[in-house]
Amino acid sequence: MSQGKLAGRTAVVTGGNSGIGHAIAVGLARAGADVAVWARNVEKSASVVDEIRALGVKATAVQCDIADEQAVDEAMKRTVEELGSLDCFVANAGIAEAAPITEMTLDTWHRVLRTNLDGGFLCSRAAARQFVAQGTGGSMIVVSSTISRYGGAGQAAYATSKTGLLGLARTLAVELARHQVRCNVLIPGWTRTSMNTHLQADEKFMKVTTSRTPARRWADPEEFYEVAAFLADPTLTFHTGNEIVVDGGYTIF
């Protein structure tokens, strides 16, 4: 067993088989946590699980559509049965669909909000129920986006969903504090992931976003390893209701 600060603890990462979610899952494992990867694509999750197990901790892939209430509850039950009591829950999974507001369909709006916001609610509720039942406290991490700080053309549904998660997380921090459960928000900036490969291929877009970022580059997912471990650290008992922005200075420039 790993002897890191999270040794012997169990963490769940939704959408943990790609992008920032993948990095968070690996970061938690590097700190010693056993990790359950919740995602729809089992094959992709299996690859991440192998990577995590190579770090000397336990890992399991749980197929789950986070917008499906029954699937979420069953995923939590299976996770606890396989890995033991829950110590950290990361609500990371999400989708993005861009369209001008004049052309965005209600179906697109509902699809994005259903996954990102409804899914965030269902997962955090399942985690809260588990934490309260255990009575041993824990950590929740809600992953939002810097778009919760500014407007983005064509991003009405995505921006609304990610901004809504801030309100959810703040409420969780207040409501669950009596149960020794902390809840903080991770707000990543421009990061090189498979979700935005089309943007990375746009030379003009890359030039504009990079020039606006004081660090003058996009982040690599691996830069979230230590951030994840920090937010999950059980010794930080007074750290809750906070928003950790990791964006190279983008939102203050």
Structure confidence by residue, pLDDT tens digits, 169-187: 999 999 999 999 999 999 9
Which of 158, 161, 225, 250 is the catalytic position?
158
Distance, in Å, from the CA atom of 160 to the CA atom of 58, rounded to the nearest integer, reads 36
Residues 213-251 as b/e (b if ≥16 CB within 10 A, e otherwise) read beeeebbebeebbebbbbbbbbeeeeebeeeebbbbebb
Which residue out of 145, 148, 225, 250 is catalytically annotated?
145
pLDDT confidence band for 106 (50 / 70 / 90): very high
Say what the pLDDT of residue 1 is: 43
Give 186 or 194, the one with higher predicted confidence. 186
Confirm whether 225 is a catalytic residue: no
- For residue 5, indicate whether it is catalytic: no
**pLDDT band at 2, cuts 50/70/90?**
low
Q: Catalytic: which of 148, 162, 225, 250?
A: 162
Residue with tokens 């003058």: 216
Mean pLDDT of 31-56: 97
pTM: 0.96
Q: What is the pLDDT of residues 195-244, one digit of tens each?
A: 899 999 999 999 999 999 999 999 999 999 999 999 999 999 999 999 99
Domains located in the chain, CATH noted: 10-252 (3.40.50.720)
Alpha-carbon separation of residue 115 from 8, 127, 166, 195 (angstroms): 31, 17, 15, 15
Contact 90, 12 (CB under 8 A): yes
What does R_g of the chain's alpha carbons equal in angstroms? 17
